[in-house]
């Protein structure tokens, strides 16, 4: 695992954007696995800037997102489809039909999830998977549990995740209780994983993911078995990782 230790959120965002842009330049028809939440917002801002400067193009890029809340329409301002449109897709030249975000309104989640995985297989898996991490170690919405779930699936969100995400909704009761999440299989199938973290509240999750036992109780720990992970984190998020681990 390569670790970039950045000063703060801004530096983390720029470094993450450089790695994503590098993938696009190197492989213009790459498959980007994309994430939502506070962590990647800054990186998307850099990518939009660089697109506007003519430095990168998303013309041939395919994207597939990690997750979506069950019950939220794409037009809901807290849906992850809405997030992707407003933070990235609406500002760059990616073709609408080349973007995939799980359908939070699907009437048949089981078939939907199977088809989502089939799509990921059909495009040869993700070239670069961007990941944030939850305070509880979740990646995508793969919450801590007794086993790793390989397939895309419907997840009951952990109470701690609902608490953490309540900041985006009018009240805690408005936070959806379920999500559709890409499974560990598709994440581990990605050729490269770019894990990003900022802030002290992520320090335990990063420390456990890097140095703790590989266990579904900390889903991020599975990344210890991925051969090509880049971690971009700020000093606060790395503050609990023992010195020897960061070369």
The residue annotated as part of the active site, out of 87, 98, 136, 142, is 136
- CA 213 to chain CA centroid, Å, is 22
Inter-residue contact 3 to 233 (CB < 8 Å): yes
Rule CB under 6 A: is residue 102 a binding residue for ligand PGA? no
Please give the radius of gyration of the chain, using alpha carbons only, rounded to the nearest integer: 17
61 makes contact with ligand PGA (CB under 6 A): no
Span of 26-34, 82-90, 128-136, 208-216 interacting with ligand PGA by CB under 6 A: 128-136
Nearer to ligand PGA, 42 or 189 (CB): 42
Describe the chain by its helix, strand, coil percentages, rounded to 5: 40, 20, 40
Is 200 one of the catalytic residues? no
User: Active-site residue 138, yes or no?
Assistant: yes
Tell the smallest beta-carbon distance from residue 132 to ligand PGA (Å).
Answer: 3
Closest-CA residue to 117 (of 181, 209, 25, 211):
181
Residue 133 is a binding residue for ligand PGA (CB under 6 A): yes
Annotation says 67 is catalytic: yes
Closest-CB residue for ligand PGA?
37
Q: What Å distances lie between residue 107 and 69, 101, 103, 142, 152, CA to CA?
A: 14, 15, 9, 21, 16
Give the nearest distance from C-beta 128 to ligand PGA in angstroms. 17
Catalytic residues, by residue number, are 67, 136, 138, 143
Positions touching ligand PGA (CB under 6 A) are: 37-39, 132-134, 138
């Amino acid at each position: 695992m390569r670790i970039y230790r950045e000063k703060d959120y801004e530096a983390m965002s720029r470094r993450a954007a450089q790695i994503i842009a590098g993938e696009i330049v190197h492989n213009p028809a790459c498959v980007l696995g994309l994430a939502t939440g506070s962590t990647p917002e800054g990186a998307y801002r850099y990518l939009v800037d660089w697109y506007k400067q003519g430095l990168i193009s998303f013309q041939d890029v395919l994207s597939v997102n990690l997750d979506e809340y069950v019950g939220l329409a794409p037009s809901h301002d807290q849906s992850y489809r809405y997030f992707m449109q407003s933070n990235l897709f609406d500002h760059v030249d990616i073709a609408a039909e080349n973007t995939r975000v799980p359908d939070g309104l699907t009437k048949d989640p089981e078939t939907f999830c199977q088809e989502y995985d089939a799509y990921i297989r059909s495009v040869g898996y993700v070239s670069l998977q961007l990941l944030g991490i939850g305070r509880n170690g979740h990646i995508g919405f793969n919450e801590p549990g007794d086993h790793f779930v390989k397939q895309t699936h419907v997840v009951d969100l952990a109470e701690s995740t609902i608490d953490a995400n309540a900041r985006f909704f009018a009240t805690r009761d408005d936070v959806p209780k379920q999500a559709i999440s890409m499974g560990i299989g598709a994440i581990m199938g990605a050729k490269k994983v770019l894990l990003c973290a900022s802030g002290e509240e992520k320090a335990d999750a990063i420390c456990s993911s890097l140095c703790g036992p590989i266990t579904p109780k900390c889903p991020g720990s599975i990344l210890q078995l991925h051969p090509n992970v880049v971690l971009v984190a700020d000093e606060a998020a790395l503050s609990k990782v023992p010195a020897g681990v960061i070369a």
